Structure 1
Protein backbone atom coordinates (compact mmCIF):
# COMPACT_ATOMS: atom_id res chain seq x y z
CA UNK A 1 0.00 0.00 0.00
CA UNK A 2 1.30 3.49 -0.88
CA UNK A 3 2.40 5.68 1.98
CA UNK A 4 0.57 9.03 2.34
CA UNK A 5 2.74 12.14 2.26
CA UNK A 6 1.79 15.17 4.28
CA UNK A 7 1.47 18.31 2.21
CA UNK A 8 2.39 21.69 3.69
CA UNK A 9 -0.55 24.02 2.97
CA UNK A 10 0.93 27.02 4.79
CA UNK A 11 0.74 30.08 2.51
CA UNK A 12 4.15 31.13 1.24
CA UNK A 13 5.07 34.80 0.72
CA UNK A 14 5.03 35.79 -2.93
CA UNK A 15 8.35 36.82 -4.45
CA UNK A 16 7.41 40.15 -6.03
CA UNK A 17 10.94 40.95 -7.23
CA UNK A 18 10.11 39.40 -10.60
CA UNK A 19 7.04 41.60 -11.11
CA UNK A 20 8.30 44.96 -9.81
CA UNK A 21 7.82 46.36 -13.33
CA UNK A 22 4.06 46.26 -12.75
CA UNK A 23 4.36 49.24 -10.39
CA UNK A 24 5.02 51.48 -13.43
CA UNK A 25 1.75 50.55 -15.15
CA UNK A 26 -0.73 53.44 -15.15
CA UNK A 27 -4.47 52.99 -14.71
CA UNK A 28 -7.35 55.35 -15.40
CA UNK A 29 -8.80 56.82 -12.20
CA UNK A 30 -12.20 58.54 -12.14
CA UNK A 31 -13.95 60.32 -9.29
CA UNK A 32 -17.71 59.96 -9.54
CA UNK A 33 -19.87 62.83 -8.33
CA UNK A 34 -23.10 60.87 -8.71
CA UNK A 35 -25.41 59.02 -11.09
CA UNK A 36 -28.91 59.46 -12.37
CA UNK A 37 -31.19 58.31 -15.19
CA UNK A 38 -32.44 60.68 -17.88
CA UNK A 39 -35.12 60.07 -20.45
CA UNK A 40 -34.11 60.50 -24.07
CA UNK A 41 -36.51 63.45 -24.23
CA UNK A 42 -34.81 65.20 -21.28
CA UNK A 43 -31.38 64.41 -22.69
CA UNK A 44 -32.35 65.91 -26.05
CA UNK A 45 -33.51 69.12 -24.32
CA UNK A 46 -30.25 69.74 -22.45
CA UNK A 47 -28.71 73.13 -23.11
CA UNK A 48 -26.12 75.41 -21.56
CA UNK A 49 -27.24 76.14 -18.00
CA UNK A 50 -29.31 72.96 -17.61
CA UNK A 51 -28.99 71.32 -14.19
CA UNK A 52 -28.99 67.54 -13.79
CA UNK A 53 -29.77 66.41 -10.25
CA UNK A 54 -27.77 63.43 -9.03
CA UNK A 55 -29.06 60.68 -6.74
CA UNK A 56 -26.20 61.24 -4.25
CA UNK A 57 -26.59 63.67 -1.34
CA UNK A 58 -24.11 66.56 -1.19
CA UNK A 59 -22.58 65.35 2.09
CA UNK A 60 -22.00 61.78 0.85
CA UNK A 61 -18.42 60.81 -0.07
CA UNK A 62 -17.40 60.70 -3.73
CA UNK A 63 -16.59 57.34 -5.33
CA UNK A 64 -13.07 56.70 -6.66
CA UNK A 65 -13.08 54.17 -9.48
CA UNK A 66 -10.20 52.46 -11.27
CA UNK A 67 -11.22 50.95 -14.60
CA UNK A 68 -14.83 51.24 -13.43
CA UNK A 69 -14.28 49.36 -10.17
CA UNK A 70 -14.92 51.09 -6.83
CA UNK A 71 -11.61 51.25 -4.91
CA UNK A 72 -12.09 54.15 -2.48
CA UNK A 73 -14.32 56.99 -1.29
CA UNK A 74 -13.35 60.50 -0.35
CA UNK A 75 -14.06 64.21 -0.28
CA UNK A 76 -13.28 66.87 -2.86
CA UNK A 77 -10.38 69.23 -2.13
CA UNK A 78 -8.53 71.96 -4.03
CA UNK A 79 -4.83 71.33 -4.73
CA UNK A 80 -2.92 74.14 -6.46
CA UNK A 81 -6.15 75.47 -7.99
CA UNK A 82 -7.09 72.00 -9.28
CA UNK A 83 -9.59 69.47 -7.97
CA UNK A 84 -8.29 66.60 -5.89
CA UNK A 85 -9.77 64.01 -3.57
CA UNK A 86 -8.88 63.24 0.04
CA UNK A 87 -9.37 59.49 0.51
CA UNK A 88 -11.51 58.69 3.55
CA UNK A 89 -12.18 54.99 2.86
CA UNK A 90 -10.34 52.29 0.93
CA UNK A 91 -12.47 49.46 -0.45
CA UNK A 92 -11.12 45.88 -0.65
CA UNK A 93 -11.52 43.82 -3.84
CA UNK A 94 -14.36 42.01 -2.03
CA UNK A 95 -16.19 45.32 -1.57
CA UNK A 96 -15.52 45.68 2.16
CA UNK A 97 -14.26 48.90 3.73
CA UNK A 98 -10.57 48.53 4.59
CA UNK A 99 -9.83 51.86 6.30
Structure 2
Protein backbone atom coordinates (compact mmCIF):
# COMPACT_ATOMS: atom_id res chain seq x y z
CA UNK A 1 0.00 0.00 0.00
CA UNK A 2 1.59 3.26 -1.12
CA UNK A 3 1.31 6.78 0.24
CA UNK A 4 -1.40 7.64 -2.31
CA UNK A 5 -3.50 4.68 -1.15
CA UNK A 6 -3.25 5.74 2.49
CA UNK A 7 -3.97 9.37 1.64
CA UNK A 8 -7.33 8.29 0.21
CA UNK A 9 -8.38 7.22 3.73
CA UNK A 10 -7.89 10.71 5.20
CA UNK A 11 -11.29 11.92 3.94
CA UNK A 12 -13.28 8.94 5.27
CA UNK A 13 -15.77 9.91 8.01
CA UNK A 14 -15.58 7.87 11.22
CA UNK A 15 -18.05 8.16 14.10
CA UNK A 16 -16.18 8.25 17.41
CA UNK A 17 -17.99 7.56 20.67
CA UNK A 18 -16.68 7.34 24.22
CA UNK A 19 -18.43 5.22 26.83
CA UNK A 20 -18.04 6.46 30.39
CA UNK A 21 -20.06 3.55 31.75
CA UNK A 22 -23.47 1.94 31.50
CA UNK A 23 -26.60 1.64 33.59
CA UNK A 24 -29.72 -0.45 33.03
CA UNK A 25 -32.96 1.39 33.69
CA UNK A 26 -36.61 0.68 32.92
CA UNK A 27 -38.27 2.98 30.39
CA UNK A 28 -40.85 4.07 32.98
CA UNK A 29 -38.10 5.18 35.35
CA UNK A 30 -36.21 6.85 32.53
CA UNK A 31 -39.25 8.95 31.64
CA UNK A 32 -39.49 10.19 35.25
CA UNK A 33 -35.91 11.46 35.38
CA UNK A 34 -35.72 15.22 35.69
CA UNK A 35 -33.03 17.85 35.40
CA UNK A 36 -30.29 17.36 37.97
CA UNK A 37 -31.05 13.67 38.50
CA UNK A 38 -28.08 11.38 39.01
CA UNK A 39 -27.59 8.11 37.17
CA UNK A 40 -24.85 5.93 38.63
CA UNK A 41 -22.67 4.17 36.07
CA UNK A 42 -20.95 0.81 36.40
CA UNK A 43 -17.40 2.25 36.42
CA UNK A 44 -15.28 4.07 38.94
CA UNK A 45 -13.95 7.51 38.10
CA UNK A 46 -10.39 6.16 38.00
CA UNK A 47 -11.19 3.49 35.38
CA UNK A 48 -10.39 4.12 31.71
CA UNK A 49 -13.19 4.93 29.28
CA UNK A 50 -13.80 2.90 26.10
CA UNK A 51 -13.30 4.62 22.74
CA UNK A 52 -15.24 3.26 19.78
CA UNK A 53 -14.81 3.98 16.06
CA UNK A 54 -17.94 3.03 14.10
CA UNK A 55 -19.13 0.86 17.02
CA UNK A 56 -15.84 -1.03 17.23
CA UNK A 57 -13.68 -0.79 20.37
CA UNK A 58 -10.35 0.73 19.27
CA UNK A 59 -8.84 2.31 22.38
CA UNK A 60 -9.12 3.16 26.04
CA UNK A 61 -8.36 6.48 27.62
CA UNK A 62 -8.78 9.01 30.40
CA UNK A 63 -11.29 11.84 30.49
CA UNK A 64 -9.70 15.30 30.49
CA UNK A 65 -11.00 18.87 30.54
CA UNK A 66 -9.72 21.27 27.87
CA UNK A 67 -11.03 24.76 28.53
CA UNK A 68 -14.80 24.33 28.66
CA UNK A 69 -14.80 21.08 26.68
CA UNK A 70 -14.43 17.45 27.70
CA UNK A 71 -11.86 15.34 25.88
CA UNK A 72 -10.19 11.95 26.06
CA UNK A 73 -6.49 11.21 26.26
CA UNK A 74 -5.80 7.86 24.58
CA UNK A 75 -3.77 5.64 26.91
CA UNK A 76 -4.11 2.26 25.21
CA UNK A 77 -4.87 1.07 21.68
CA UNK A 78 -6.95 -2.11 21.51
CA UNK A 79 -5.76 -4.72 19.02
CA UNK A 80 -8.42 -5.78 16.56
CA UNK A 81 -9.33 -9.46 16.40
CA UNK A 82 -8.35 -10.96 13.06
CA UNK A 83 -10.86 -13.13 11.21
Q: TM-score range by the shorter chain?
A: 0.7 to 0.9
Unaligned runs of 5+ residues in structure 2 are none
Kindly report the root-mean-square deviation, in angstroms, between the aligned alpha carbons of the 2 structures: 1.9
* Larger CA Rg, structure 1 vs 2: 1
Identify which of structures 1 and 2 has the higher relative contact order when contacts are C-alpha pairs closer than 8 Å and 6+ apart: 2
* Higher relative strand content: 2
4+ residue runs over 2 A deviation: 14-20
TM-score for the superposition, normalised by structure 1: 0.71
TM-score (norm 2): 0.83
- Matched positions, count: 82
Cα shift at 1:19:
5.0
Q: 1:62 aligns with which of 25, 45, 49?
A: 49
Stretches of structure 1 lacking an aligned partner (at least 5 in a row) = 1-13
